[in-house]
Amino acid sequence: MAQSAPFDPEIARDVITGLKHLPGATLPILHALQDRFGYVDAAVVPLIADALNLSRAEIHGVVTFYHHFRAAPAGAHVIQLCHAEACQSMGCRELERHAEARLGVALGGTRADGRATLDAVYCLGNCALSPAVMIDGELHGRVDAARFDELIDELGIRR
């Protein structure tokens, strides 16, 4: 996975300035900042609020409403487990428990060594091949515990 740039308030201001003219600019700005830095730093909330003439609470509300936005940098590898209905019916909760144990991190967390972040997502659009997992943007279907371990081993992540 490509490494994100360290947070820089001046770069953040440039991103905000370049996008604030768009209708509904909040989401495009947040996406651009997350793409640039790998997360949405809390320090950027007042900058966005001031640029868009919105309250800090409104910006914070958007950041925390959408699961896509992170408040801290992700690990070197991002593992997303689908929790939509089809995946639930095919065992994603069992896979979740296995993934947490295998990676040594709770869902929504990042390993202490920074090697992996484990997240839930609410539809990867791969319902016919449930349960689905996305690792660093690559979709995998029909993932059971054994297949999950194979995928994690390919990343070089040890227990």
> pLDDT by residue (tens digit) across 56-82?
999 999 999 987 899 889 999 999 999
Higher pLDDT, 5 or 12: 12
pLDDT given for residue 68 in this prediction: 81
Which tops the pLDDT comparison, 138 or 67? 138
Task: Count the neighbouring beta carbons within 10 Å of the beta carbon of residue 47.
Answer: 20
Residue 119 banded pLDDT, cuts 50, 70, 90: very high
Query: For residue 159, what pLDDT is reported?
Result: 79
Q: Which two tokens stand for residue 6?
A: 């360290």
Residue 120 to residues 19, 57, 94, 129: CA-CA distances in angstroms?
29, 25, 13, 17
Q: Which domains does the chain carry?
A: 9-65 (no CATH), 77-154 (3.40.30.10)
pLDDT for residue 2:
44
Q: What is the average pLDDT score of the chain? A: 94
Q: What is the pLDDT of residue 74?
A: 92
Global confidence as pTM: 0.80
pLDDT confidence band for 48 (50 / 70 / 90): very high
- Residue 66 DSSP label: -
Q: What pLDDT was estimated at residue 1?
A: 44
Whole-number pLDDT of residue 132: 97
CB contact at 8 A, 119 and 72? no
Rg (CA), the chain: 17
Q: Is the pLDDT of residue 3 over 80?
A: no
Q: Rounded CA gap, 20 and 139, in Å?
A: 33
> Which residues, including other chains, have CB under 8 Å from residue 41's CB and lie 6 or more apart?
7, 12, 33
Cα 54–chain centre separation: 25
Considering only residues 5 and 101, tell me which one the structure prediction assigns the higher pLDDT. 101
Report residue 114's pLDDT band, with 50, 70 and 90 as the boundaries.
Answer: very high
